[in-house]
């Protein structure tokens, strides 16, 4: 505990001692983590949006005219087995005709031409709302049903969700690549800052080694320093992210209309902020360990 | 306590800093390690605390073959040895007390114990009145005494000093050597590298003489038989 307190105190003193280089380092880490945070935030919102969207997904499948009732019942039974399904409502051809007439009584005369109901039988499927990543599963499920020989056509309000999913994937991949590059840069920067600190304190390290300090006793303060730099970078990035979200300018109606639909959250979720702090600390730790490894190999 | 068996140290090809050294120093003894500049005194001392590795041969410290000590366990050897350097190797932005406390801090001792041990060391070297001074604000002689106090603070079994009086005048040098004598009287083995023959004559201690890396004279029997 004493060692931790002392290491924290030393770390803060060291950061303040070499202000310029440490603040530059902090700036780069914060920028990296801010970029990460922005992509994370957008991805998270898209995920929420698609999840909420999945609550309202309904699909109507129309059967072919020559399909036997036995086949329809078998299809309905199969569909009901799926864990995604909340409700399946079957409408026979006659029921479809009755439904049409109740909605449009003035068009009764059109149906006089037909002996049988011209409307196909159909099933209306309502999906469950509890699971995450529901939209992807639902899309896949619907495509499976559509491939069935007895299905003529479908009516699904899912095309919009598909597009959002593509955007979500694109943003995720872009975010990962960009963040990967920036994370590498951050690791490299902290690695060199810690290295400079080691060189600056070479004399002290040498004395500690000569009086019998263990390697970990010597390394620990530097590790704490690296982790602290990363953590501070994460805190700064978190604060900037909060400010940025509040300040997004609303000059484009088109973008804002989309964003208004997608950006359901007003506040930044705590888990995004925690991720930023954790990433920052881990970057700092890894960089310090890499820097110390080279020094202690001799 | 300290044993060298056919030890060689080569830095460059065909040139030996240490050549076939065999010696044994028993517990509680006081030796001067002497020789001209470049004789190998510093190299021999560095081999003892494993700052350097021998090219050939075995070195035993307190019955442990130090060649076999892995890097991550080296601290155990170093805790048995107190080292005093010609250039003091102090932390000049810290107080006298803080410098002396370093070997105790790295061992994880409690504050009360550290206070007591530092006080004892300060008394031995006569620097109680300088306890809270920043090390860069005291004289060279006092700085060397701080270095000695730090070396003994952790209760080592061996003290080695590399030209501890090299930067000091005669009067201070004598003062410093008297402190080493006091330390030796407490049962600690002392080995001091110096080329100051006047001091050596003044203190009448046993001498190990090196010339071009070879042992020229020593009161110790050579070629001891070692069991490993």
Per-residue pLDDT of chain B (228 residues; tens, 9 = 90+): 899 999 999 988 878 889 899 988 989 999 999 988 888 999 999 999 999 999 999 999 988 899 899 988 999 999 999 999 988 899 998 899 999 999 999 998 989 999 999 999 999 898 999 999 999 999 988 999 999 999 999 999 999 999 988 878 888 888 888 999 999 998 999 999 998 888 888 888 889 999 888 888 766 554 444 443
Interface of A with B (CB under 8 A): 3, 203-204, 206-215, 217
pLDDT of residue B220: 55
Q: What is the pLDDT of residues A141-198, one digit of tens each?
A: 888 888 888 888 888 876 666 776 777 777 778 878 887 888 888 888 888 878 888 8
Each residue of B206-223: b (16+ CB within 10 Å) or e?
ebbbbeebebeebebeee
CA distance A161 to A263: 15
Cβ distance A206 to B49 less than 8 Å, yes or no, reads no
CA distance A179 to A185: 10
Among residues of chain A, what percentage have pLDDT more than 70?
Answer: 85
Asked if B49 reaches chain A (Cβ–Cβ under 8 Å), the answer is yes
**A214 vs B75, B89, B102: nearest CB:** B75
Residues 166-205 of chain B whose Cβ lies under 8 A from any Cβ of chain A: none
Per CB-CB distance under 8 Å, the chain B contacts of A213 are 75, 106
Is residue A115 classed exposed, middle or buried when 0-12, 13-18 and 19+ CB atoms within 10 A define those classes? exposed
Asked if B17 reaches chain A (Cβ–Cβ under 8 Å), the answer is no
Cβ distance B72 to A215 less than 8 Å, yes or no, reads yes
Per CB-CB distance under 8 Å, the chain B contacts of A209 are 74-75, 78
**B106 vs A203, A206, A212: nearest CB:** A212
Distances (CA, A) of A238 to A20, A28, A172, A273: 22, 14, 19, 6
CA atoms within 13 A on the CB side of B1: 20
Chain B nearest C-alpha distance from A214 (Å): 6
In the predicted structure, residue A288 carries a pLDDT above the cut 90: no
Most A CBs within 10 Å: which of B81, B82, B106, as the mutation test of the A interface? B106
Phi/psi class of residue A214: alpha, beta or left (left: φ > 0; alpha: ψ in -120 to 50)? beta
Chain A nearest C-alpha distance from B205 (Å): 27
Asked if B106 reaches chain A (Cβ–Cβ under 8 Å), the answer is yes
In the numeric block, the tokens 């050294």 are attached to: B21
Chain A nearest C-alpha distance from B153 (Å): 10
Q: Which of A277, A272, A283, A275 is nearest to A245 (CA)?
A: A272
DSSP structure class, residue B83: E
Q: What is the pLDDT of residues A31-49, one digit of tens each?
A: 888 888 888 887 777 777 7
**B89 vs A207, A213, A217: nearest CB:** A207
Pairing of strands B30-34, B206-211: parallel
CA distance B217 to B224: 16
In the predicted structure, residue A4 carries a pLDDT above the cut 90: no
Which chain B residue lies closest to A297 (C-alpha atoms)?
Answer: B71
Taking CB atoms and an 8 Å cut-off, how many pairs form between chains A and B? 41
Whole-model pTM?
0.68
pLDDT of residue B225: 46
- Between A140 and B102, the more confident residue is B102
Q: Which of A282, A286, A285, A280 is nearest to A33 (CA)?
A: A280
CA distance B44 to B55: 12
Which chain A residue lies closest to B110 (C-alpha atoms)?
Answer: A2
Calculate the average pLDDT of chain A.
Answer: 80
Q: Which residues have CB under 8 Å from B128's CB, separation 6+?
A: B119, B122
Tokens of residue B112, six digits: 């009360």
**A207 vs B76, B102, B108: nearest CB:** B102
Asked if B46 reaches chain A (Cβ–Cβ under 8 Å), the answer is no
Chain A nearest C-alpha distance from B156 (Å): 10
Asked if B89 reaches chain A (Cβ–Cβ under 8 Å), the answer is yes
Cβ proximity of B192 and B161 under 8 Å: yes
Asked if B1 reaches chain A (Cβ–Cβ under 8 Å), the answer is no
Q: Which of A19, A104, A43, A36 is nearest to A280 (CA)?
A: A36
Which chain A residue lies closest to B153 (C-alpha atoms)?
Answer: A211
Q: Which ipTM score applies to this complex? A: 0.86
Average pLDDT over residues A43-57: 70
Element (H, E) at B44: helix B41-48
Helices (H), chain A: 2-17, 19-54, 69-81, 93-103, 108-111, 134-146, 159-200, 202-210, 215-247, 253-262, 270-296
Chain A nearest C-alpha distance from B42 (Å): 15
């Amino acid at each position: 505990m004493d060692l931790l307190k002392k290491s924290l105190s030393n770390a803060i003193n060291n950061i303040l001692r070499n202000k310029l280089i440490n603040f530059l380092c902090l700036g780069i880490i914060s920028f990296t983590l801010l970029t990460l945070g922005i992509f994370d935030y957008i991805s998270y919102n898209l995920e929420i949006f698609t999840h909420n969207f999945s609550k309202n997904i309904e699909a109507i499948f129309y059967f072919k005219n020559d399909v036997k009732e036995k086949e329809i019942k078998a299809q309905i039974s199969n569909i009901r087995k799926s864990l995604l399904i909340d409700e399946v409502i079957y409408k026979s051809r006659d029921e479809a005709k009755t439904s049409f007439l109740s909605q449009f009584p003035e068009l009764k005369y059109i149906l006089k031409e037909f002996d049988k109901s011209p409307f196909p039988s159909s099933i209306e499927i309502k999906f469950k709302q509890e699971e995450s990543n529901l939209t992807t599963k639902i899309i896949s499920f619907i495509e499976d049903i559509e491939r069935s020989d007895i299905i003529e056509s479908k009516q699904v309000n899912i095309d919009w969700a598909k597009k959002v999913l593509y955007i979500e994937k694109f943003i995720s991949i872009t975010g990962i690549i960009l963040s990967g590059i920036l994370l590498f840069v951050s690791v490299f920067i902290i690695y060199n800052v810690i290295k400079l600190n080691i060189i600056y304190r070479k004399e002290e390290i040498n004395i500690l080694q000569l009086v019998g300090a263990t390697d970990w006793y010597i390394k620990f303060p530097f590790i704490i320093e690296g982790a602290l730099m990363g953590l501070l970078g994460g805190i700064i990035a978190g604060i900037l992210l909060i400010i940025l979200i509040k300040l997004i300018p609303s000059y484009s109606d088109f973008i804002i209309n989309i964003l208004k639909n997608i950006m359901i959250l007003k506040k930044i979720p705590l888990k995004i902020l925690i991720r930023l702090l954790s990433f920052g600390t881990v970057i700092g730790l890894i960089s310090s360990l890499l820097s110390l490894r080279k020094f202690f190999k001799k | 306590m300290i044993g060298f068996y056919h030890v060689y140290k080569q830095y460059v090809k065909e040139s030996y800093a240490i050549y076939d050294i065999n010696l044994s120093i028993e517990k509680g003894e006081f030796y001067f390690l002497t020789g001209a500049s470049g004789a190998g005194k510093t190299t021999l001392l560095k081999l003892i605390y494993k700052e350097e590795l021998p090219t050939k041969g075995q070195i035993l410290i307190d019955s442990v073959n130090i060649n076999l000590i892995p890097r991550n366990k080296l601290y155990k050897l170093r805790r048995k040895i107190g080292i005093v350097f010609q250039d003091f190797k102090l932390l000049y932005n810290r107080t006298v007390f803080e410098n002396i406390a370093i070997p105790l801090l790295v061992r994880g001792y409690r504050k009360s114990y550290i206070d007591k041990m530092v006080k004892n060391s300060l008394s031995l070297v006569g620097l109680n009145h300088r306890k809270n001074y920043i090390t860069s604000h005291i004289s060279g002689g006092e700085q060397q005494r701080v270095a000695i106090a730090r070396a003994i603070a952790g209760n080592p079994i061996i003290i080695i000093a590399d030209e501890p009086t090299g930067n000091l005048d005669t009067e201070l040098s004598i003062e410093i050597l008297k402190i080493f004598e006091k330390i030796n009287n407490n049962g600690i083995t002392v080995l001091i590298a110096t080329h100051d023959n006047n001091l050596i004559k003044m203190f009448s201690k046993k001498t190990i003489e090196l010339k071009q890396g070879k042992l020229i004279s020593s009161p110790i029997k050579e070629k001891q038989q070692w069991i490993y």
